Every structure is written in C-alpha cells, then in structure tokens.
C-alpha cells in the first residue's frame, strides 16, 4: 500500500469522468489508483450516491460515494447549458479518455456523441457504461444491477434449493455493476494499447447486460454443452464439483472447496475418514457428484468432532481449500488483510479498501480523498 506520490503505471493519462453511481466511478477509480489524473465532473445536484446512506461522513457524504471516488479531482457542470458544454470541450482538448454513463442518446443530443468528439479529438477514447447498449430490442433502456441480475439468470442460480424452500435471491454485492466497471477499465486499457500503433482513439462500450451474462460461468457453459441442463439454485453447493459446499462442524460451519481427488484424499485423511476415497461412490468427482447427499452426511459426521477455525487452518495448510465463514468486520480485521495492506487511510477522514492489483515497480498510490462539494 503506497500513499506517497510516486508515479503509477498510468501516470500522465488524463481522464474526464462524467459518470455517476457505480460502474463508471469504479472504472475511473481503478485508473486513478494507478496514477491517472481523473477529473470527476458532477451535475449541479451531485452524484446521487452522495446521499445513499447512512452512514455519512462529517460533510454529509455517504460511504457509498466515498468507496468509489478516491484519487479524483472534482468539479460541477450543468451540461444542459451550451456554455458548460463548451467548457467541457476545452477540457477534452488534451484528455486521453472520456468516461460517461448517460442514457443512450443524451451525449448525442448535446452534440457530444462519439462521432462529433472523435472528429474534434481523434486520439480520444470514449468509454460508455450503459445498461443494454445502444441498439437491439432493449437498446437504450436504463439498466440497474439488481434488475440485470434478475434478467440474465444470475438470481435464478442464487439461493437455497426448492427442497429447502428457496427463492431466487439477489447477490449481496452489486456484482454486475462492479464487473462492468472492471471491464470498462480493461476496455480502456486495450484501446490505449491499440492507440500506440494506430494513433487513433475509439469507442469503448461496457453494457451491464453483456457483463451480467458473462458472469454466468459455469452455468451458461453447462447449458450450452447440454441444453437439457437447466441450471437452478443449489445453495452453497457447486453444480460441477463435490464436495464444494458449507458443512457443519462442532462449532460454526466450514466451507470446503475440494477441487480434485488428491485434495479429497487429504481431507478424508485429516478428519479421520481414510476409507472414503476408496469407496466406489466417491472415487472421482463424477461419482462424488452422483452421491453428494450421502457424502455430505458422512463428512459432517466426522467434521462435528472439530471446531471450525483450527480445522480450517489445519486443512488449508495441508493443501485442502477451505475457509471459515467470516462477516465483513472479521474479514476487514483479519491479520492477512492487514498484512496485504488492503485497507488504506488518507488523512484523518478517509478509510477504504485498496486496489487488489499489485505492481512491483509502479504500485497503486492513494493521494486524494474523494472530492467534496
């Protein structure tokens, strides 16, 4: 974790950020953490996530906004006003990247569409984060994380099984928005790399709908290979791998993520069930999947002799993927979280989770708290 102003990998890159809420701001925070000069331009009423609380900081700004907008300079513009649009064009004259997530057609209505901007600034990379893209049956419609989760099938595979009274459940974090922001940043970097050869900018689009569908692995792969498979909810269990689920112990539950026969054999050895790998029902992953319910019962009968935390530590050190199930405070306070420098403080008022990308020579730096108003 670096807070001093060393030059990051994207030092010298100038980004104009017109985006609001999550996907766009997450994208530009990734760029800013790695050295880009990001100017966040908000409408007069501000980014709406400033009010998405509690909790709020001493300035009345919600934690939701604070978590997505560090390392950015800030200003306000009303782009409905022609003079403000001219001011934006002046800022774009020496910018490398423009990021926005206006409803499709808005920038074009203002005379700021990609065609117009690329004619003025041929090296500019224009990135749009949208709900569904500009065309197609849903083209131009607004998109929201939870609605996309429902539409693309993510909710259909999340939740307890029908046998346990389950219903489709929204994932507890906005995975579609975050994944879209990550793909937007990746698309920008790809366009920057290509610009080194061509000297030309291009339009980069990251749509929530596309990114939500891309998150469906392995369920989409299972169905595309065998259309008879209709993926559904399996609780914490994996549709393809066994044992890969939550299991009761003598204290709190443990999550086992056993991915191969060797790991299964080691697990059975360490919990006192060395006979299970030799049982034809459990010899391979395919056979374990076919007999997963009886295997779970047999494993839990042994696991109930152990406390979760020491058992999890012993298993993972022996090469068996597993973990205790922590809540958010426990995860943030974990000694390994601290060792990895995953929480940063900027001044006295800002604490946040840092970039997970670690570069040896040009690490991410944390220079500015989120812009105030």
List the catalytic residues: 177
Among candidates 218, 243, 245, 227, which has minimal Cα distance to 161?
A: 245
Residues in contact with 335: Cβ distance below 8 Å, sequence separation at least 6, in sequence order? none
Q: Running DSSP on this structure, what letter comes out for residue 75? A: E
Among candidates 146, 144, 152, which has minimal Cα distance to 170?
A: 146
Rounded distance between C-alpha atoms, residue 84 and residue 23, angstroms: 24
Quickly list DSSP for 82-118.
Answer: HHHHHHHHHHHTT-SEEEE-PPTTHHHHTT-SHHHHH
Alpha-carbon dihedral of residues 45, 50, 55, 56, nearest 10 degrees?
Answer: -70
Hey, what are 236's tokens? 């914490």
Among candidates 42, 39, 47, 30, which has minimal Cα distance to 90?
A: 39
């Amino acid at each position: 974790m670096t807070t001093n102003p060393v030059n990051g990998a994207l030092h010298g890159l100038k980004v104009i950020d017109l985006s609001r809420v999550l996907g766009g701001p997450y994208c530009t925070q990734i760029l800013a953490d790695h050295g880009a000069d990001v100017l966040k331009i908000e409408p007069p009423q501000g980014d709406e996530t400033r009010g998405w609380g509690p909790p709020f900081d001493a300035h009345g700004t919600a934690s939701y906004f604070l978590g997505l907008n560090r390392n950015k300079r800030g200003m306000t513009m009303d782009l409905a006003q022609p003079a403000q649009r001219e001011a934006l064009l002046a800022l774009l004259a020496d910018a490398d990247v423009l990021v926005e997530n206006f409803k499709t057609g808005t920038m074009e209505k203002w005379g700021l569409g990609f065609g117009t901007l690329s004619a003025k600034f041929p090296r500019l990379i224009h990135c749009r984060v949208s709900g569904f893209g500009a065309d197609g049956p849903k083209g131009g419609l607004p998109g929201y994380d939870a609605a996309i989760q429902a539409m693309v099938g993510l909710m259909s595979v999340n939740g307890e099984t029908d046998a346990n009274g389950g219903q489709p459940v929204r994932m507890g974090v906005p995975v579609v928005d975050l994944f879209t922001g990550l793909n937007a940043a990746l698309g920008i970097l790809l366009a920057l790399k290509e610009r080194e050869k061509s000297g030309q900018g291009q339009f980069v689009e990251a749509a929530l709908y596309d990114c939500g569908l891309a998150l469906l692995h392995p369920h989409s792969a299972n169905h595309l290979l065998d259309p008879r498979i209709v993926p559904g909810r399996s609780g914490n269990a994996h549709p393809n791998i066994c044992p890969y689920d939550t299991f009761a112990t003598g204290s709190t539950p443990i999550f086992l993520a056993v991915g191969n026969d060797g790991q299964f054999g080691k697990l059975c050895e360490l919990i006192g069930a060395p006979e299970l790998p030799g049982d034809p029902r459990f010899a391979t992953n395919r056979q374990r999947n076919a007999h997963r319910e009886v295997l779970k019962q047999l494993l839990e009968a042994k696991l109930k002799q152990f406390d979760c935390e020491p058992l999890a530590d012993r298993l993972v050190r022996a090469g068996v993927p597993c973990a205790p199930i922590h809540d958010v405070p426990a995860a943030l306070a974990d000694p390994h979280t601290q060792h990895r420098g995953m929480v940063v403080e900027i001044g006295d008022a800002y604490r946040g989770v840092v970039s997970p990308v670690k570069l040896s020579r040009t690490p991410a730096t944390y220079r500015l708290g989120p812009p105030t108003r």
